[in-house]
Amino acid sequence: MEIDFWLERWDNNQLGFHQQQVNPYLAYFYGEKGPAVEQRQKLKVFVPLCGKSKDMLWLSQNAYKVFGVECSDRAVKDFFEDNALNYKRAEKDQHAFYQSSDLESVIELYQGDFFELQSSDLEDISDIFDRASLIALPVEMRQQYAEKMAALQKSGTRTLLVTLTFDSEEMNGPPFSVTEEEVHDLYSNSFSVQKLLTKDVLNLEAGLKKRGLTALTESVYKLVRL
Ligand SMILES: C[S@@+](CC[C@H](N)C(=O)[O-])C[C@H]1O[C@@H](n2cnc3c(N)ncnc32)[C@H](O)[C@@H]1O
Tens of pLDDT, residues 55-77? 999 999 999 999 999 999 999 99
Q: Are 52 and 78 in contact (CB under 8 A)?
A: yes
**From the CA of 105, how far away is ligand 1's center (Å)?**
22
CA gyration radius, the chain:
17
| Residue 103 to residue 210: CA distance in whole angstroms | 43
Which atom of ligand 1 is found nearest the CA of 49? 12
**From the CA of 115, how far away is ligand 1's center (Å)?**
12
**Average pLDDT of the chain?**
95
| Residue 194 to residue 161: CA distance in whole angstroms | 10
How many CA atoms lie less than 13 Å away from 140 in the CB half-sphere? 2
DSSP β-bridge partners for residue 194: 222
Q: Which CATH number fits domain 132-226: 3.40.50.720, 3.40.50.150, 3.40.50.300, 3.30.420.40?
A: 3.40.50.150
Using a 6 Å cutoff on CB, does residue 132 contact ligand 1? yes
pLDDT at position 103 = 66
| Residue 75 to residue 132: CA distance in whole angstroms | 15
**pLDDT tops 90 at residue 1:** no
Residue whose Cα lies nearest atom 12 of ligand 1: it is 49
Using a 6 Å cutoff on CB, does residue 18 contact ligand 1? yes
| Residue 58 to residue 225: CA distance in whole angstroms | 24
Q: What digits encode the pLDDT tens for the residues 89-142?
A: 998 877 799 999 776 778 999 999 999 999 999 999 999 999 999 999 999 999
Which atom of ligand 1 is found nearest the CA of 75? 27
Q: What is the 3-state secondary structure (H, E, C) of 172-203?
A: CCCCCCCCHHHHHHHHCCCEEEEEEEEEECHH
**pLDDT tops 70 at residue 191:** yes
Q: How confident is the model at residue 159 (pLDDT cuts 50, 70, 90)?
A: very high
Q: Which residues contact 32 (CB under 8 A, 6 or more apart)?
A: none
**From the CA of 223, how far away is ligand 1's center (Å)?**
20
DSSP β-bridge partners for residue 88: 99
**From the CA of 226, how far away is ligand 1's center (Å)?**
26
pTM of this prediction?
0.97
Residue 184: closest CA among 209, 151, 168, 161 = 161
Is the fold of 1-12+24-32+42-130 the same as that of 132-226? yes
CATH architecture entry for 1-12+24-32+42-130: 3-Layer(aba) Sandwich (3.40)
Q: Which residues contact 222 (CB under 8 A, 6 or more apart)?
A: 158, 159, 160, 161, 193, 194, 196
Residue whose Cα lies nearest atom 26 of ligand 1: it is 51
| Residue 193 to residue 94: CA distance in whole angstroms | 35
| Residue 130 to residue 29: CA distance in whole angstroms | 13
Give the CA-trace dihedral at 126, 149, 92, 43, to 10 degrees. -10
**Where exactly are the structural domains of the chain?**
1-12+24-32+42-130, 132-226
Residue 145: closest CA among 107, 103, 108, 174 = 174
pLDDT at position 92 = 80
